Amino acid sequence: MGKIKIIFFDIDGTLLRLRAKELSEKTVEALNRLKANGIRLCIATGRTPVSLPHFSGIEFDTFLTFNGSLCYNDTETIFSNPISPDDVQKLIRNADSLGRPVSVATKSRLAANGFDIDLSDYYSIAHLQLTVAKDFEQVSNEEVYQLLLGCRETDYSAILKDVDGAKIAAWWDRAVDIIPANGGKGIGIQKVLEYYHLDKSEALAFGDGNNDIEMLLSVGTGVAMGNASPQLKEVADEICKDVAEDGIYDYCLTHGLF
């Protein structure tokens, strides 16, 4: 491993145990020791900016939200890649044909047009409560970066029927994120590396879900958590311990990153 100057972290199942609210003490220690060594810390998540947690005791340098479709730091937007308005409306109609409500995500809002248990439980992972938005139609015609939808893998083709500019990014078996076809965490990472004038060999990433596959392939060293999906482990350069076993701390310590 060469000199690491930037690390990208997924949140749910990677930094945090699923449905947990706070980082473990060892994870906070690891992040602060990495930062003290001059390594940039970046969140790379499917979450929206409004659903990002603030972790006490640590400040991140950069945020890749909506699975990389909106990347920013404290001073400016690095990359912005919304879904085309035409595709947003097609996706809403396709979901309706399946009897499924959807939630559209803008830079500042999450707005749903109905309730079902899968979408509600998906919200709850980020400690959010699903409510139906009275102004859904208006919000859905704004700049939409992502749609959230409760479904199963067998529904994917019906959801994407006649849609050219969007794709599914899934890390849970009961719901999906729908993002631009030319998007993904990998694209977001490329834009961030260009912004900071860094080579991929200087970047490392930790993830656990299938929506992290592109991320691990876009850095010099991709690390899958011990609790990661089999598909992610197949493409990872290395596998660390489970999130419940402070896998990030253990990996960084044993690889001399602090």
Tell me what pLDDT residue 222 has: 98
pLDDT in tens, 147-176: 999 999 999 999 999 999 999 998 899 999
What pLDDT shows up at residue 12? 92
Sign of the Cα torsion 240, 244, 245, 250 reads positive
Does residue 2 register a pLDDT over 80?
A: no
Q: Which pLDDT tens digit goes with each residue over 196-246?
A: 999 999 999 999 999 999 999 999 999 999 999 999 999 999 999 999 999
In the predicted structure, residue 77 carries a pLDDT above the cut 80: yes
Looking at residue 233, its pLDDT comes to 98
Q: Check residue 20 and give its pLDDT.
A: 86
Kindly state the percentage of the chain with pLDDT values over 90: 92
> Could you tell me the pLDDT band of residue 56, with boundaries at 50, 70 and 90?
confident
- What integer is the mean pLDDT of 5-19? 94
Work out the pLDDT band at 1, boundaries 50, 70, 90: low
Amino acid (1-letter code) at residue 230: P
Give residue 24's pLDDT band: very low, low, confident or very high (50, 70, 90): very high
SS3 content of the chain, % helix, strand, coil (to 5): 35, 25, 40
